[in-house]
Amino acid sequence: MAKVISIANNKGGVAKTTTAVNLACGLKRLGCRALLVDMDPQSSATVYLGLDPLALERSSYEVLMGRCPAREAVLRLDAVDLLPASITLSAGELELSARIGRETVLRRALAPLLDDYDAIVIDNSPSLGVLTVNSLMASDAVVAPSEPSFLALKGLEILFSVISQVRELYPALQMLGVLITQMDPRTTHHREAAEAIRERYPVFDTVIRRSVRYADACLASQPVMDFAPGSPQAQAYMDFSREVAARAGIQTRLS
């Protein structure tokens, strides 16, 4: 049965989508059956993987609204299986807010897929609204990417507060840790902020350093391990994927 992992942070620009895409693809490279779910109305993961959200007939919006089973909306891509998002998802927050049991719509929608995969990775929008709460309620664990800045610390404080509230309804939700991203160890600010994050929160051993390769990989619609195999950037996300698998209890078939 799949472990479901949400990539979440209410602060934008912290490499959530880069992390979600490369984690899902990294887990696939480790021999896992992996699915990436795009729950961002901006369709960031969908665009990252080279798809046009405006051309989709089925997306996470149709799945949430009960118009289509999740399995029928999944696309089998070379990089990873994807449940894409489209611009219509922006209406989902308003429509879900009027539903009874709105917090568990995604959990019920993904339930038929749990036996199809070892890992399901959800990419979320930079907010903590109904869509993200749905993702958290559908997940076994959370990963919080965060740049090493003191402004980012406030975002983490808010995120951890929301996770605590979700746990009151869904105690099984686990915080796997904070992934420090866009790290530039040459700057005092980054070094001090990273240390402050480590003092306050559980943090992954892997650190994602700032590099133009991640943006270039996105422009090429490829995970970084395909775009620049053997590079330090590809190795970093493979190391992170192994850490996530170990912490979440995901069985991998390859080293």
- pLDDT tens readout for residues 162-173: 999 999 999 999
User: What is the reported pLDDT for 28?
Assistant: 97
User: What is the reported pLDDT for 98?
Assistant: 74
Q: What would the mean pLDDT of 114-130 be, rounded to a whole number?
A: 94
User: What is the reported pLDDT for 153?
Assistant: 87
- 190-216: pLDDT as tens digits: 999 999 999 999 999 999 999 999 999
As a whole number of angstroms, the distance between CA 175 and CA 202 comes to 8
Q: Which are the contacts of 207, defined by CB distance < 8 A and separation ≥ 6?
A: 180, 183, 194, 236
- Mean pLDDT (the chain) is 94
As a whole number of angstroms, the distance between CA 241 and CA 236 comes to 9
The strand ranges marked E within 18-140 are: 34-39, 75-76, 81-83, 119-124
Of all residues in the chain, what percent carry a pLDDT higher than 70?
100
User: What is the reported pLDDT for 96?
Assistant: 82
User: What is the reported pLDDT for 100?
Assistant: 74
pLDDT tier, 231 (very low <50, low <70, confident <90, very high otherwise): very high
User: What is the reported pLDDT for 90?
Assistant: 85
Mode of pairing for the β-strands spanning 81-83 and 119-124: unpaired
Q: What angle do CA 152, 190, 25 make, to 5 degrees?
A: 70
Which residue would you say has higher pLDDT here, 180 or 150?
180
- Neighbouring CB atoms inside 10 A of 50's CB total 13
Q: Is residue 63 within 8 Å of 70, Cβ to Cβ? A: yes
Q: Residue type at 206?
A: T
